[in-house]
Chain A
Amino acid sequence: MSSRSFRRSALLGAGLAAALAVGAGAVALQSGGSGGAPRLTVADPYIPLPATPGGMGAGYLTVRNAGGADTLVSVSSPAAGSVTMHRSTDSSMEQVEAMDVPAGGTLDLSRGGAHLMIMNWTEQPSLGDELELDLQFAKAGRVVVRVPVKPLTYRPGS
């Protein structure tokens, strides 16, 4: 699945930065520099169909960053009353307040690791639904992603 969402202003910012860099001969904003604007894309988002209809759900996705460092600070959805960020550990899981999106790197939310926990659905999700997740980044701002509901055991590429 290809990238689904761009932060337009982030791209504009990067373009502007590139233009400035060319104009001024500056090198401070070269790719991957932590001081540069983040350039984020979201790949392979999915929500496995909850095992209990309308029950506790998870969300997975990959944030790719071709620019400077950013941070995912919150996630919300018109489809659910609560979306929180968690990380599974060997015997439990812990809520995290923010997740790093490193410069030139990725933030990977995948099974058994970092994930979104989705509760209090406004409507019971069904296979084939596309639900909106609103990702709020510290620098890039809000990124809206359309996320398909997949079978319980789905994995990207399968």
Chain B
Amino acid sequence: MASLHRPRPRLLTAAALVLGASLALSACSSAGGGGESTGAAKVSKKASTSQYQGTVLSKNFDKPDLVLDDTSGQPYDLRAKTAGKTVLLFFGYTSCPDVCPTTMGDIGVAMSKLTAEQREKLAIVFVSTDPERDTPQVLRTWLDSMGKDFIGLTGDLSKVKTAAKPLGILVEDPVVDAKGAVTSTHGAQVLAFMPGDDKAHLLYMAGTSIDVYKHDLELMANGVAV
């Protein structure tokens, strides 16, 4: 019987980040995530006085060189299309009941509190970890519930894995059970790439509140440096 009353690893992770500890994200994953360490995702909260409430990355990952289909079915070159924009990047799948709609929905609520001009400065990008079922149209319908201007990318899963790995984001092949339920293992963190150098500077764990997103998205839209 699974006990549900032990402290969740995520909470421990958050606590560790606040304390300024440095840790590998992959070490915190369980349920099959532990075996395939993608390593390298060292994060630490700097002692600096960043105005941002997200976790400031000490290693600034490059924006992935990723070309997939967007929700209109057209090729979308992530680097070319989002150069000079702030990009929030999340990997997930639409038949995910809990973490994916919660994370994207919360970002959507935070975005809705910005002005149209502020929203223009930001690109919210969702990359499917279940491209077989997440067709461009399926993605569009799902994303529209959270943000009409959210960008959805889908296509070759091996490209998705290759893009995610250097970011310390684990992506595995989806598993479909007898009832047709899909489970995709994917790192649930959101990375923010800043327009100055198109590199990742901030990280948001699953469970980040709407208030934190609103606070930080506003700073990003106003061009505040990390």
Binding site for B on A (CB under 8 A): 48-53, 55-58, 71, 82, 84, 86-100, 102, 105, 107-108, 111-115, 117-119, 152-153
Contact = CB atoms under 8 A, between A and B. Distances in A.
5 contacts: A55-B94, A84-B181, A90-B13, A90-B188, A97-B1
Contacts of A113: 4, 8
B167 to A, nearest CB: 13
Nearest to B210: A153
Contacts of B143: 51
Contact of A93 (B31, B105, B106): B31
Contacts, number: 132
A107 B105 CA distance: 25
Given A99-B1, A118-B97, A153-B105, 9 more contacts: A86-B98, A89-B9, A90-B9, A90-B28, A90-B206, A93-B31, A93-B99, A98-B2, A152-B146
Interface string B5-29: 1001110010000000000010011
Interface of B: 1-5, 8-10, 13, 25, 28-33, 94-99, 101-102, 104-106, 108-109, 138, 141-143, 145-146, 170, 172, 177, 179-181, 183-188, 206-207, 210
Given A92-B185, A112-B102, A153-B108, A105 B33 contact: no
B4 A114 contact: yes
A112 B207 contact: yes
B85 to A, nearest CB: 24
B141 A89 contact: no
Contacts of A50: 101
B33 A55 contact: no
Contacts of B145: 49, 51-52, 152
Contacts of B207: 111-112
A141 to B, nearest CB: 18
B36 to A, nearest CB: 10
In the complex, which of the residues B3, B8, B99, B138 has the most CB atoms of chain A within 10 Å of its own CB atom? Answer: B99
A122 to B, nearest CB: 15
Contacts of A89: 9, 29-31, 33
A45 to B, nearest CB: 15
A124 to B, nearest CB: 13
B97 A57 contact: yes
Nearest to A102: B5
In the complex, which of the residues A51, A84, A87, A119 has the most CB atoms of chain B within 10 Å of its own CB atom? Answer: A51
A49 to B, nearest CB: 8
A11 B88 CA distance: 50
Contact of A100 (B4, B141, B179): B4
Contacts of B184: 92
